Amino acid sequence: MKWKIGNVSIDNRVVLAPMAGVCNSAFRKIIKEMGAGLLYAEMVSDKALVYDNKKSHDMLYMTEEERPITQQIFGSDKESFVCAAKIVESEMKPDIIDINMGCPVPKVAKRAQAGAALLKDPDKVYDIVKSVVNAVNVPVTVKIRSGWDSESINASIIAKKIEEAGASAICVHPRTRAQGYSGHANWNIIKEVKESVSIPVIGNGDILSAEDAKKMLDETGCDAVMIGRGTLGNPYLIKQVVSYIEDGILLEEQSSIDKMKLCLKHFDYLLKIKDEKTAVLEMRTHAAWYLKGLPSSTIVKQKLYTLKTKEEFIKLINDYISDLNY
């Protein structure tokens, strides 16, 4: 089912979450091939962009086949947000710009007073969103949490401020900053936010199966579902979710062999955007996720962390695929 964020048309209701250290172009392309309607790139620091940090600018790399794509920015003051948003718009040319107001990681939320820390000041939220909306020509969205802690759950109040400021959509992860990623996501918060605003609401949190995604849509009335950690080592989850919520067809699990072939494809994409050493280091982590729960994978995982070259990595995975064929 098609829907829109501002003037951006999106083919279905499945969205990739902006996972830090994961959602580079290689991973996003794999997720796009699985059928995701909208991709979020991993967050970049507003100040790092403003101060011309090369690594942060490199994170803005994308390809046309990844569209529609959202670039997320995090920071703590509206001047830096505005400058960074303009840089992102001119340099990357994303379809949408997202403001991170949900990151719970201490170095972001506590030390930098960014991410979820912004939820403590609804008026500041309004000022930041309004300033960024006025500064760029693409739709602006905001990703939030339910609140700072259990004593200050204010997602609906924040959502109204965000809508009043001119944002085109809101994504809600219904855990508090204090929870981090522990406990359970309280989907009732998503429902409350959806009932509080008229702009699209994307639900996020605890979607590990196609049935979970359908349940979130049904229970909360949200416009789309955002999936993050469930895709680690299992990008095929996106295909399952799209099939189930759009066509009512529940696909079987991916075979172990197909999963590891996808792992090799992911590595091939990574080699196109990273030097060999970096690609191997990153892919060792991803491969461990792909191998999770697969038969006789313990020894393969142990060998993973000794690999240093692309040839060694490819041989290890291909040998494992051959073993699976027997």
pLDDT of res. 70: 98
The answer to whether residues 311 and 254 touch, using CB atoms and an 8 Å cutoff, is no
For the stretch 176-198, pLDDT in tens is 988 988 889 999 999 999 999 99
Q: Say yes or no to pLDDT of 320 above 90.
A: yes
pLDDT value for 116: 83
Asked if residue 135 has pLDDT above 80, the reply is: yes
Distance CA 126, CA 305 (A): 46
pLDDT recorded at residue 21: 93
Q: How far is the first Cα of the chain from the last one, in angstroms, to the nearest whole number? A: 42
Arithmetic mean of pLDDT, 246-263: 97
Q: pLDDT by residue (tens digit) across 154-172?
A: 999 999 999 999 999 999 9
With a threshold of 0.85, does the pTM exceed it? yes
Q: Output the pLDDT for position 264.
A: 98
CATH: 3.20.20.70, 3.20.20.370, 3.30.710.10, 3.30.300.30. Which one for 3-247? 3.20.20.70
Task: List helix spans (H) across the chain.
Answer: 25-33, 46-50, 54-58, 78-91, 106, 122-135, 155-164, 187-196, 210-220, 236-247, 256-271, 276-291, 298-304, 310-325
Tell me the pLDDT band of 13, cut-offs 50, 70 and 90: very high
Beta bridge partners of 40: 70
Active site residue 222: no
Q: Categorize the per-residue pLDDT at 301 as very low, low, confident or very high, splitting at 50, 70 and 90.
A: very high
* Mean pLDDT over each residue of the chain, to the nearest integer: 95
- The CATH 1.10.1200 portion of the chain extends over 256-325
**What's the CATH number of domain 256-325, 1.10.1200, 3.30.420, 3.40.1440, 1.10.10?**
1.10.1200
Average pLDDT over residues 218-239: 98
pLDDT at 109 over 90: no
Q: Of 103, 171, 222, 263, which one is the catalytic site residue?
A: 103
% of the chain residues with pLDDT over 90: 90
Ranges in the chain annotated CATH 3.20.20.70: 3-247
pLDDT for 193: 98
Confidence of residue 149 (pLDDT cuts 50, 70, 90): confident
DSSP states along 63-114: -GGG-SEEEEEE-SSHHHHHHHHHHHHHHT--SEEEEEE----HIIIIIS--
